[in-house]
Amino acid sequence: MAEEGVSFSDQVRALARSLGFEAVGIARANEPLDTDYLRYRAFVNEGLHGEMAWLARDAALRERLDGDGILMGAKSVVCVARRYPNDARQGAGDGDALSGIARYARGRDYHRFLRRRLRRVATFLRSLGTPESPVHARPLCDEEPVLERAWAVRAGLGFVGKNGLLIVPGLGSMVLLGEVVTTLDLEPDRAPARVEERCGSCTRCLDACPTQAFRAPFVLDPRRCISYLTIEQRGAVPEPLREAVGTHLFGCDDCQTICPFNAGVGARSPLDRSDGDPFAPLERWSRVRLESLLALDAAEWHALFEGTPLRRIGRAGVARNAALVLGNRGDEGALPALRTAAAGHEDTVVRETAAWAVSRLERVDRGPAG
């Protein structure tokens, strides 16, 4: 219910913060993107999206929010950010899979969590209308054709760093984004300073990338990015990049953990645990051995990965990634499981990757003079 004497914009901001969003901003939805949209078109035209075909679909819709594709007549967009844990030690246990999982993916699938809260913001916005002047609102969460980071910058949430990620001052880059677009005319926030004024001459994120995926500051070739290789790539990981994947099982945080804007964030801004902390590492990871991921049957797969972000890459994807990690770890104890997978796994890519890992471990065993 609307509060008398408090602007609708301030009420929306207060509601979003009460729902656990640490950063909230508002931008004009009826002003199309310009430079960011042109960069997106150039990115797709060059084919940098690789196997992420969804990035090339509905390209024209990504320029604005006030058309048929998103919400006809939209005037405002509420952009929000929710931080997730960035402590590398969190959830350490006896299992050896957890450390290879990107921090955002160690708990439950965040989409459900964010969508529920975004729907509550949308419901509140609709309640501000009348039968004569209804207010329409649509929550957006990682599925619609929206250039999220560009709108977040417009709403004043932060700036895009040299690694291409949104950096929210005081919170860092380990945040998840969401939006609610509405026909209500809300007061927008003032945009922050230019990107280059924040990153300065720092290149730590670029230097830390194991696969050298950055062509230049702010220019990522996703096809070389470990997050792309372990999540989006459906076939075999290109052999020249396999060793650089290292021990990453699902995603990669390297360009974020090195970023000064993420240093000490946890100590300065403790996470709100009142909603159950959906990003806390699941207890099940403490029992997972990488070798076991090579031979999961359908029932075991479902029990282990249902409701987690890792479900996205499928049983074969996890087995392929596990074979890469085992090959890169140099642990000869994994050879029996890898040989079994190389000889008899149902998926061709897994068999080939496991054979590569076996060959790599045997080379390590023989040494340079072998």
Kindly list the catalytic residues.
142
Bridge pairing between strands 214-216 and 219-220: antiparallel
- The DSSP secondary structure of 244-313, one letter per residue, reads HHTT-SB---HHHHT-GGGTTHHHHSPPP-TT--TTSPPGGGGG--GGGGGS--HHHHHHHHTTSGGGGG
Q: What are the beta bridge partners of residue 250? A: 101
Asked if residue 189 lies in contact with residue 155, where contact means CB atoms within 8 angstroms, the answer is yes
How big is the chain by its Cα radius of gyration, in Å?
A: 22
Is the CB of residue 345 less than 8 Å from the CB of residue 317?
no
Question: Which residues, other chains included, contact 344 with Cβ-Cβ below 8 Å and sequence gap of 6+?
Answer: 351
Residues in the chain: 370
Question: Element (H or E) spanning 353, and its range?
Answer: helix 348-366
Find out whether 80 and 179 touch, Cβ atoms under 8 Å.
yes
State how far the Cα of 362 lies from the Cα of 344, in Å rounded to an integer: 19
Q: Which residue in 167, 356, 340, 122 sits closest to 263, CA to CA? A: 167
369's tokens = 């003079």
- Using a 10 angstrom Cβ sphere, with 0-12 exposed, 13-18 middle and 19 or more buried, the burial of residue 303 is exposed
DSSP 301-346: HHHHHTTSGGGGGHHHHHHHHHHHHHHHHT-GGGHHHHHHHHHH-S
Q: What phi, psi does 356 have (nearest 5°)?
A: -60, -45
